Amino acid sequence: MIKLTRIDDRLMHGQVAFTWTPALGIDCIIIANDKVAKDEFQKMTLNLAKPSSAKLLIKSITETISFLNDARSVNMKLLVLINSVKDASLLASEVKEIKSINFGGIRTKEGSRAISKAIALTEDDISIIKQLSEKGIELEVRQVPSDKKQLIETLI
């Protein structure tokens, strides 16, 4: 069961490992990223950052879709991490269980504008967000579980 789908361009870090994971009782964290799935050094580094209470899987987007749609994943308490709005949209379009996406952190890059202290979006991101919203997917902003949910539509 997917407990949280989170966009965070840092992927695994302290907030995820020591706040979200215990708060949601996560026993498996999945990093869905094509580039990281092929990078042994990055995989090793991310594995060092994971909490000891959870298993870490690092898969391509396609492999993640297959895994999340497999009945064997139903009994796990899953945290899905992606680092872009585009990848989140791909997952949400193929995994019917994804009904909500948490925006944790997307750093400023060329062509983006800040909509909160931790999130900067491009026009392409905003377009994708509007499409996801039209499909009825909750799009919420929270750094940590104790923060009040804020719908991203109110910020763009």
pTM: 0.94
Exposed / middle / buried, residue 94 (Cβ in 10 Å: 0-12, 13-18, 19+):
middle
Instruction: Round to whole Å and give the CA distance between 156 and 154.
Output: 6
Phi, psi angle pair for 117, to nearest 5°: -65, -20
State residue 156's pLDDT score.
87
State residue 135's pLDDT score.
94
Structural domains in the chain?
A: 2-154 (3.40.35.10)
Place of tokens 């989140």: 88
State residue 79's pLDDT score.
97
Q: Catalytic positions, please?
A: 13
Mention every residue, 6+ apart, whose C-beta is less than 8 A from residue 135.
92
State residue 122's pLDDT score.
93
**pLDDT, one tens digit for every residue, the chain (156 residues):** 999 999 999 998 888 889 999 999 999 999 999 999 999 999 999 998 899 899 999 999 999 999 999 998 989 999 999 999 999 999 999 999 999 999 998 998 898 999 998 999 999 999 999 999 999 999 999 999 999 999 999 988
